Amino acid sequence: MSREFLPGITTSGGNKWRAQIESLKPLDVRRVSLFPTTLGPDERNELYDVLDQIRGDVAVVAVHLRDDMERWEYDVFQLFGAEVFNLHATPRALEFIESQPEIAKTIFVENGFSLDEIYFEMLDLCGGVCIDLAHLEDFGFRQQNAGYEQLIKLLPKLRVGMTHIAAVRAELHETPCGNGIGTEMTYEEHFVEKFPEELEYLRRPEILAVIRRCRYNCVELNDSIGRQLAFIRHIKQNIVDRR
């Protein structure tokens, strides 16, 4: 298995995704992950137009789907180079997976604030899990939210199709939800304020083990691509490859 760390094009930071995309070719970045998590249909069409301009030069390898996306959008992502996808566990996401069995195994269910019956039902239908490592540290190990004890026990046996990497801070704080609607109390954040301290949670043995057996590790941060590349170098050299 060839493990890779993919810089992320993120939308929870407003319009920073435009600058992130514009910087890819100057920085010689050829493979990225994409997080259109806060974009409605009209805004996504705008994003697709921009991505089409770099098609062939940059592959959008891993994509965070929204549960309001249609099948044609999945197909468009494949044209952009997508190899793996993830979804949050919602009733609408479950309905999408059930209606698209031919692509279900390319989609991995992501752990969110808490894990309910829909999460574990989707787990049986999808290709495996997308482990958001900051969620796991925050909602699992620190806050111990519902369903995480079961996930942590199952984790060594589950197929991990992809991971998401964000920052985790020392103090609990209020932050906007990932979908752009409302706020929640978390330790995690989508912008690195203190480096390398806010990436140190990746050293937790259970989390490090997940990274080491996963091919697609996706950076979900609103930081510039240049900063993300520096974070990736640190993670690889000082955490993952260090024995």
Across the chain, which has 243 residues, the per-10-residue mean pLDDT values are 94 91 98 96 96 97 97 98 98 97 97 96 97 98 96 97 98 77 87 97 98 98 98 97 81
Phi-psi region of 181 (alpha: psi -120 to 50; beta: other; left: phi over 0): beta
Show the domain range for 53: 4-240
Look at residue 176 in the predicted model and tell me its pLDDT. Answer: 73
Q: How far apart are CA 109 and CA 120, in angstroms?
A: 9
| Tally of structural domains, the chain | 1
pLDDT for res 151: 97
pTM for the whole structure: 0.95
Give the residues across from 128 on adjacent strands: 108
Q: What pLDDT is recorded for position 178? A: 60
Per-residue confidence (pLDDT) for residue 242, from 0 to 100: 82
- pLDDT for residue 180: 60
CATH number at residue 94: 3.20.20
Q: Which uninterrupted H or E stretch holds 62?
A: strand 59-64
| The pLDDT of residue 20 | 98
H helix or E strand, kind and range, residue 183: strand 183-189
